[in-house]
Amino acid sequence: MNAGSADVAELSKLMRRGARALNEQFDEDTHLNEVIPKPWGYEYRAYVDEFFDFWALHIDAPHGTSMHVHARKLTYLICLGGQGVTSGLAKEVPVREGTILRIAPGAFHGTRNIGDEPLELIEVEVPRNKFDLMRLKDDYNRAGTAYEAKSLEEPEHSMQKVAAFPNAHMRRQTPDGKFRFELRTGMDIFCRRRSEDIFYVPLCVSGVVYLDVEVLTGQEGDKRRPQTDKQYLCISKNF
């Protein structure tokens, strides 16, 4: 999903009305490491470092996110389970387990749950900046507002420091226990693909610089090979 002239026009209107794309203060905005309640469900960080930011979204039926834009960061929307639809200003894309959707900087988008079960998503955001957000339309009267300032502490599933990666933090699993997160080398994935694995996301600076992150799947039909010298965040079902 790429930005076009309609996205630029709507972004310009938002800015003229006073909307701002703010900047996250890494050492101060610590509430972002807790669960963020939303009118459509909740979201929380799964992994974060200096460049990458992974957010897990739990969208209850029949709710949906706002129509919003990230003016400066690239987003990959990957689906762990459920059924939904992601809408831009000009088109809609169906979303179900295994879907990978690239959303370019400046492209307005919103996602709605159209199934009966919760829609479980991961947003891979690069470069890291949770406050790079402007809301155009919203079912919950949040149009034009900034990102939420309130959070819920989950001490049993809190973010933990990653010893091998300076300034990196991650969760070991989702609060509901359905999915788990692991750091694995490309060599390990190449030699040991597992049936419970859903996605592998490379944590390499080249993906940030070139705005191109090659998200691999655990599906049998995905014949792409991981780069053996890279580190990946592996997202798996927790059997």
CATH number attached to the domain at 5-154: 2.60.120.10
- Give the model's pLDDT for residue 155: 65
User: pTM of the entire structure?
Assistant: 0.93
Distance CA 235, CA 239 (A): 13
- In which band, very low, low, confident or very high, does the pLDDT at 44 lie, cut at 50, 70 and 90? very high
- Strands in 104-215 per DSSP E: 110-113, 119-126, 134-137, 160-161, 169-170, 179-185, 197-202
Q: What residues does CATH 2.60.120.10 cover in the chain?
A: 5-154
How far, in Å, are 66, 89, 93, 205, 223 from residue 122 at the CA level? 16, 22, 16, 20, 22
pLDDT digits (tens, 9 = 90+) for 180-222: 999 999 999 999 989 999 999 999 999 999 999 999 998 878 8
Question: Of 18, 35, 43, nearest to 122 (Cα)?
Answer: 43
How many degrees, rounded to 5, is the angle at CA 96 between CA 174 and CA 180?
Answer: 20
Q: Which residue has the higher pLDDT, 158 or 131?
A: 131
Task: List all residues 6 or more positions away from 58 whose beta carbon is below 8 Å from its beta carbon.
Answer: 41, 42, 43, 118, 119, 120, 176
Q: Which residue has the higher pLDDT, 159 or 107?
A: 107
